[in-house]
Chains A and B, each alone.
Chain A
């Protein structure tokens, strides 16, 4: 790779080859393999057999599959709005001239930075029925008279996962929205103040419209990420109780673990298609946001 003229440099695709090769072998090929596999009966120690849509037919009659879809969608609908709202509040606070700004930012980053498997373990302990922090606080603060069976009941397990996920991913939303907020020119606020608007009016008329593109980005990033949720449910509830918190990723994983690669692949193909449609939407909207600025 000896380049001499500026033109030659500009026309060199060679530099991007390693990147493309890596993504081809370790991302695209596996996705393709999963697609192909979903048309096979592919179970460990059994003859591999092409069965076309059998896996998918089975899938559409599988009540556990619908259960996984229901949980995944409910989880997105509850956790993502919570994260966006909380993230927006945090971002608004951090965008003010607060003392210990650096310390506060570091605090916000910490839950995001640690592995979700570890935070899952931590929340498992917090939600412990007998001596967990959650029940201790609930009783002390008078929210509940007796201990709540967090991880043992469907609703409790769902709320537990939502709380743990909100704790872990609100920082990401905060950071993105904070960047969006800090890029709003301060003159706009001064102008709005001169025009005699109050705090809420300024938020409504200046902040929200200008933050909208960034909000959309955060929203879609979080939606796609929540769609793929695996680590937290695996560690915190193992999908239980009784499969009530099994996400699509976890459901698919169970089949892989059991050696049924055909059926597991079919489930993950469905997830892939949903994620792909969402990401196309994201890229389209992202382009609009780019044009808008």
Chain B
């Protein structure tokens, strides 16, 4: 009994610490973004609430905040879309292939996902420059899709492998072609997997930094992480209020997706890493 009591107290303390650990920086971000000056802690904690940071971030044309956000959303959505389709085709082929090469492909792709990004980015920069794609959406979407494909493939393989082969046969007999089987049977049946891959792909593309830093030049294609990383003040002093307001707005999409669909994200992450 004493052990049980002791244990539940420990767990309660652990829960509180966990929440404090995870959320304090967020709360700090929100507080700074809402206060008129970033140094409220030194002024005995007196906060002057105002939305002026949000207003200036959203209204200032020269900051291009809205452009960055739009670029990020479009690039991430497009990457997630292509990634799901291509990984879906691949996973279907791998789970249905009778040939011995499938494990080889899976482990090859896994090895690819371990490559450091920096060993790609130098060449990608030259390649994209040579075909004139620098500072376009394509310069990011294509590498993102390739970059996120390995994880997506692993996740989808684990979902597709659970779909019985009889379903493919039934669909063939019912008159489906290969494409129709995929579109009308496999994809809908594996919908939770498809959805969690879409979510993860979107989040990964949204958060990517190095490619975006190297392959974009200005607001025509620059994404929000780069925009915020390079956000410097005009007059020496860093405008923390504006940066935090921008950050708060920028993380809204991923934070919402994470909170609403956390179970799908957790499913995807665990299937992608622990069990193939």
CB pair B25–A34 under 8 Å, yes or no, is no
Contact check, A121 vs B124: say whether CB atoms are below 8 A apart. Answer: no
Q: How far is the CB of B111 from chain A (nearest CB, A)?
A: 5
Query: Smallest Cβ distance from B55 to chain A, in angstroms?
Result: 20
CA distance A131 to B6 in the complex (A): 39
* B57 / chain A contacts, CB cutoff of 8 Å: none
A37–B39 Cα distance when bound, in Å, is: 48
B217 / chain A contacts, CB cutoff of 8 Å? none
Interface positions, chain A 241-293, Cβ under 8 Å from B, are 248-249, 252-253, 256, 261, 264-265, 267-269, 271-272, 275-276, 278-280, 282-283, 286, 290
Tell which of B23, B24, B125, B274 has the most Cβ of chain A within 10 Å: B274
Contacts of B254 in A (CB 8 A): 113-115
Q: Which of A2, A10, A114 contacts B98 (CB 8 A)?
A: A10
User: Contacts A6-B169, A22-B86, A113-B254 hold; do A268 and B122 have CB atoms under 8 A apart?
Assistant: yes
Q: How far is the CA of A4 from the CA of B97 in the complex (A)?
A: 15
Pick the contact of B19 from A7, A104, A123 — CB < 8 Å? A104
* CB closest residue in chain B, given A28: B112
Q: Per-residue CB proximity of B229-273 to A under 8 Å, as 1/0? A: 101000000001001100100110011011100100110011001
For window 205-250 of A, CB contacts with B under 8 Å fall at 214, 217-218, 221, 224, 227-228, 230-231, 234-235, 248-249
Secondary structure call for the B interface: helix
Whether B18 sits at the interface, judged by CB under 8 Å, is: yes
Asked if residues A249 and B210 are in contact (CB atoms below 8 Å), the reply is yes
Instruction: State how many angstroms separate the Cβ of B121 from the closest Cβ of chain A.
Output: 7
Which of the 9-residue segments A55-63, A153-161, A167-175 touches chain B? A167-175
Q: A130: which B residues are within 8 A, CB to CB?
A: 39, 42
Q: Does B49 contact A (CB under 8 A)?
A: no
| CB neighbours of B41 from chain A (8 A) | 131-133, 136
Tell me if B192 counts as interface (CB < 8 A to partner A).
no
CB distance from A213 to the nearest CB of B (A): 8
| Residue contact A96 to B114, C-beta cutoff 8 Å | no
Contacts of B143 in A (CB 8 A): 26
Q: By the criterion CB–CB under 8 Å, are A10 and B23 in contact?
A: no
Closest chain-B Cβ to A132's Cβ sits at a distance in Å of 8
- Asked if residues B3 and A199 are in contact (CB atoms below 8 Å), the reply is yes
B-chain residues with CB within 8 Å of residue A118 when the two chains form the complex:
224-225, 228-229, 247, 250-251
Is the CB–CB distance between A33 and B123 below 8 Å? Answer: yes
Asked if B244 and A125 sit within 8 Å, CB to CB, the answer is yes
Complex Cα spacing A126 to B28, Å: 8
Cα–Cα distance between A79 and B12 once the two chains are bound (Å): 26
B146 lies within 8 A of chain A by Cβ: yes
Q: Is the CB of A117 within 8 A of B126?
A: no
Q: Is B1 in the interface zone, CB < 8 Å from A?
A: no
B122's contact among A19, A123, A264, by CB below 8 Å, is which? A264
Contact B124 A16 (CB under 8 A): no
Give every chain A residue within 8 A of B14 (Cβ-Cβ): 89-90, 92-93
Q: Which of B169, B178, B226, B270 contacts A3 (CB 8 A)?
A: B178
- Chain B residues with Cβ below 8 Å from A10 are 96-99
* Residues 1 to 57 of chain A near chain B (Cβ within 8 Å): 1-7, 9-16, 18-20, 22-23, 25-31, 33-34, 37
Asked whether B118 lies within 8 Å of A253 as measured between CB atoms, the reply is yes
The contact size tier of chain B is: 35 or more
- With A16-B89, A26-B143, A130-B39 as known contacts, state yes or no: A4 contacts B118, CB within 8 Å: no
CA distance A98 to B86 in the complex (A): 40
The answer to the question of B117 belonging to the interface, with a C-beta cut-off of 8 Å to chain A, is yes
The reply to whether A167 and B11 contact each other, CB–CB distance below 8 Å, is: no
Complex contacts, A104 vs chain B, CB 8 Å: 15, 18-19
The residues of B that contact A7 with a CB separation of less than 8 Å are 98
Chain B residues with CB under 8 Å of A84's CB are: none
CA distance A7 to B145 in the complex (A): 30
Q: Quick one: which of A73-88 are within 8 Å of B by CB? A: none
Residues of the A chain whose Cβ atoms lie less than 8 Å from the Cβ of B257: 113
Do B207 and A256 touch (CB < 8 A)?
no
Cα distance A222–B117 in the bound complex, in angstroms: 15
Instruction: Tell me whether B134 is interfacial, beta carbon within 8 Å.
Output: no
Q: A122-B25, A218-B273 are in contact. List 20 more A-B contacts (CB 8 A).
A: A11-B98, A11-B99, A23-B150, A27-B147, A33-B122, A90-B14, A107-B19, A110-B255, A113-B258, A114-B254, A116-B209, A118-B229, A123-B25, A136-B41, A167-B25, A175-B266, A176-B270, A267-B118, A276-B115, A279-B110
Which A residues contact B (CB, under 8 angstroms)? 1-7, 9-16, 18-20, 22-23, 25-31, 33-34, 37, 89-90, 92-94, 96, 98, 100, 102, 104-111, 113-123, 125-126, 128, 130-133, 136, 167, 171-172, 175-176, 178-180, 198-199, 214, 217-218, 221, 224, 227-228, 230-231, 234-235, 248-249, 252-253, 256, 261, 264-265, 267-269, 271-272, 275-276, 278-280, 282-283, 286, 290
A-B contact pairs, 18 of them (CB 8 A): A11-B98, A12-B97, A19-B87, A25-B146, A26-B124, A27-B120, A27-B147, A31-B120, A34-B122, A108-B18, A113-B258, A121-B243, A125-B38, A128-B240, A180-B274, A253-B121, A256-B122, A282-B114
- Listed from nearest, the 6 A-B pairs whose CB atoms lie closest are A279-B114, A26-B146, A33-B123, A131-B39, A15-B93, A117-B225
